[in-house]
């Protein structure tokens, strides 16, 4: 790997982007698909196994050189790909699906996230009803009455 290739990623991340088929040779930039895949796979190296070893987002920023938003996206992509990355107020960690404790952690996380989604949907129900009413009688009238406290 050349020094020029290494310079394309944030210093100290250890998350070198893949070169080749997904590379735009005219600009020397790696496609966003390849970067996303690289971030998702690379982030796993920085997230320890076990809740007791959880790493806080600000520490991941320092270790990877990525922005918080990019780390969150990489974690989400890894989760969608089936990785057992969990989080709470302590930070991020990987659960070990080979252990009963790891499986229990994943199920607790799943239930907590499902509850959070249901609660959000319930809080948004009045908005949904209002939008339906706006569509039925004229959006401007219903929406403006609501903004005026009506």
Instruction: Assess if residue 139 is contained within a domain.
Output: no
Is pLDDT larger for residue 56 or for residue 1? 56
Residue-wise pLDDT tens digits, 101-135: 999 999 999 999 999 999 999 999 999 998 888 88
pLDDT at 19 > cutoff 90? no
- pTM, two decimal places: 0.60
| Structural domain includes residue 59 | yes
Q: What is the pLDDT of residue 8?
A: 34
Q: Give the CATH number of the domain where residue 41 resides.
A: 1.10.10.10
Q: Residue 81 falls within a domain, yes or no?
A: yes
Q: Is residue 101 part of a domain?
A: no
Domain total of the chain:
1
The predicted-structure confidence for 20-30, as pLDDT tens digits, reads as follows 333 344 444 44
Question: Measured between alpha carbons, how far is residue 41 from residues 2, 44, 79, 82, 108 in Å?
Answer: 22, 6, 11, 12, 24
Determine the structural domain holding residue 77 and report its residue range. 3-94
Q: Does 128 reside within a domain?
A: no
- pLDDT, residue 148, reads 55
Strands (E), 5-148: 23-24, 29-30, 85-88, 91-94
Model pLDDT for residues 71-109, shown as the tens digit of each residue: 999 999 999 999 999 999 999 999 999 999 999 999 999
- Per residue in 37-47, pLDDT (tens digit) is 555 568 999 99
22 lies in some domain: yes
Residue 18 lies in a domain: yes
Residue 12 lies in a domain: yes
């Amino acid at each position: 790997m050349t020094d020029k290739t290494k310079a394309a990623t944030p210093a100290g991340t250890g998350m070198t982007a893949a070169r080749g088929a997904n590379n735009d040779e005219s600009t020397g930039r790696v496609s966003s698909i390849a970067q996303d895949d690289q971030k998702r796979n690379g982030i796993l190296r920085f997230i320890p196994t076990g809740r007791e070893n959880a790493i806080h987002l600000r520490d991941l920023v320092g270790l990877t050189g990525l922005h918080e938003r990019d780390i969150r996206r990489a974690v989400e992509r890894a989760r969608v790909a089936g990785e057992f990355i969990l989080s709470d107020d302590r930070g991020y960690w990987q659960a070990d699906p080979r252990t009963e404790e790891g499986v229990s952690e994943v199920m607790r996380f799943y239930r907590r996230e499902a509850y959070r989604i249901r609660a959000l949907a319930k809080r948004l129900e009045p908005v949904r009803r209002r939008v339906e009413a706006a569509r039925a009688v004229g959006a401007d009238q219903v929406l403006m009455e609501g903004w005026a406290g009506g």
